Amino acid sequence: MLGIIFLVLCFCILIVVAIYNNLVRLSNLVKNAFSSIDVMLKRRYDLIPNLVETVKKYMDYEESVLKRITELRVEATQSNISIDEKVKIDNDISSNMSKIFALSEGYPDLKADESFLKLQTATIDVENEISAARRSFNSSATEYNININVFPNNIFAHFFEFKEISLFKTDDTENVIIKLR
């Protein structure tokens, strides 16, 4: 009898260990995916000063857009912001960048500027990277969220304090990229 109880206990411990390890694995995948987004967002922030400087020479009348994007860059580089705030700022930056490229249509000299063209290509590249990284993060986060919500994982997730992660929702970056083209 004691042997059976011991076996059942061992089995239960093994299940808990397996669930815990799986949750840790998924949580690490999500963290890894988010750090990839972070790296790419930094690449995008690094492009902003150059873009503003290049555009400023030609687009004197669009000062408000340039000022706004510079402010957003400063906000985004602050270290104490949450994922949700980061997502919001990121969306604002995306829409302002696409606004700059849309406005550039009215400035033929700017459109012919070599450094502007290089920045435009680099921006498309970064936006594609961000879009892919965001989708990868969302896929990992969805899998993680499902896992911490299903029974019996939810009991252990609550006990070991695995919290639900918000998805990286955006105003459809792919559309922004198409507009940039």
Judged by the rule CB under 8 A, the positions of this chain that interact with other proteins are 33, 36, 124-125, 128-129, 131-133, 135-136, 138-140, 143, 174, 178
CB of 23 to other proteins, least distance (A): 18
Task: Name which of 63 and 174 has its Cβ closer to other proteins.
Answer: 174
Q: Please, which residue, 81 or 132, has the CB nearer to other proteins?
A: 132
Cα–Cα distance between 9 and 176 in angstroms, integer?
A: 55
By the 10 Å C-beta count (0-12 exposed, 13-18 middle, 19+ buried), 135 is classed as middle
Closest approach of other proteins to the CB of residue 171, in Å: 14
> Using CA atoms, how far apart are residues 76 and 136, in angstroms rounded to an integer?
21
Of 33 and 41, nearer to other proteins (C-beta) is 33
Structure tokens at 76: 């985004």
Q: How far apart are CA 72 and CA 67, in angstroms?
A: 9
CB of 101 to other proteins, least distance (A): 16
Give the nearest distance from C-beta 59 to other proteins in angstroms: 26
